[in-house]
Structure 1
């Protein structure tokens, strides 16, 4: 126990697999009928599983996973509460060549995760590529200033300013100012392939 936080057993939620199956199915825009037919189970049984009213066998779960285009490991291995915590000074950090940006990974990896999260330390003079891709992103300026460009419009963002946008839109940023900028970036890009096949782009 850290910081005197009590353990509340009633807060431990075992309703995990069903929600992830439903989320994955809806993400793929598949109906209950389509998935149940592919998995060889009844629509009613799949509905019960998604609502955590029934627990599938591992074999049945494997068939459902295959129908959803993933492996069983996408739905098993529920993380413990402490797994979602990262500690200052212990998080992975990396530089990409001489780009002028240091990345500090804030997000955790667990089955069904949709988000990536980083703190970016952006040196003076850095300018990103202008890009567009699948997903959505949010940036929040912690300190310093950046010039944020969206669909060709350049906007200065300072401490406390944020932007939330569809990543398909042309976007990029730069730091033409004297001070180093720190930015919190959150997005749906699967940067490291932790969530299966996906884009390998880094935050821009």
Structure 2
């Protein structure tokens, strides 16, 4: 398989368009930064043209990512998350633990984690673009949205626009486990993004 046909098979244009829209950039913004015409960017985004690697590198730079963002795909094994080998992160004095469930691949929009909140944990109130879904696997969660506090128990869930001020706390004396899915990558490499 040739390099061009491999890139075509990825439907790279859709990934470029999604990244551009995520950054709220126009076709003109990307064209100017990459040093190519608006028409050519449009053709690439519609998968009507295949850029050279040099042009793709210029587009990637304009979109704040590396070229691998558009050409890498996880293998079937990388799409699967096994509990014994999950990547984990600790925040604070281990009051908040994350286990990454999702895979990183070109153009992915969703991130998913299991979160363990220790007793007494309280987050700050935040806002950001995108949306979130929280499902309580065990324990209790106090969810605050727009200043309103709601108690969620095992099996309860919430789906909300993350632009609304929101935060969580665990008011119980037991750790709780949440399944969190959202359209923001909590641990993305900020040096390569917006």
Tell me, in whole angstroms, the C-alpha distance in 2 between the residues paired with 1:31 and 1:170. 28
Greater RCO, 1 or 2 (C-alpha within 8 Å, sep 6+): 2
For normalisation by structure 2, the TM-score amounts to 0.79
CA RMSD of aligned residues (A): 2.6
Alignment equivalent of 2:116, drawn from 118, 121, 125: 121
Gaps of 5+ in 1: 1-12, 199-204
Structure-2 separation of matches of 1:54 and 1:165: 38
The structure 2 residue matched to 1:169, chosen from 164, 172, 175, is 164
Pick the structure with more helix per residue: 2
Moved over 6 A (4+): none
Q: Does 1:112 align with 2:92?
A: no
Which digits, 9 at most, give the CA deviation of each residue in 1:114-136, with x for residues without a partner? Answer: 3332111233x323133213233
Report SS of the residue matched to 2:83.
coil
Per the TM alignment, residue 87 of structure 1 is displaced from its structure 2 partner at its CA by 0.9
The corresponding residue for 2:82 is 87
Distance in 1, Cα, partners of 2:175 & 2:77: 32
- Counterpart in the other structure of 1:100: 95
Q: SS of the residue aligned with 1:18?
A: helix
Question: 1-side partners of 2:54 and 2:193: how far apart?
Answer: 23
SS at match of 2:122: coil
Q: CA deviation at 1:34?
A: 4.1
Contact 2:120 2:173 survives alignment (8 Å): no
Query: Which has the larger displacement, 177-186 or 152-161?
Result: 177-186
Q: Between Structure 1 and Structure 2, how many residues are aligned?
A: 185
TM-score for both structures, normalised by structure 1: 0.76
- In structure 2, how many angstroms separate the alpha carbons of the residues matched to 1:61 and 1:94? 33
Partner residue in 1 for 2:5: none
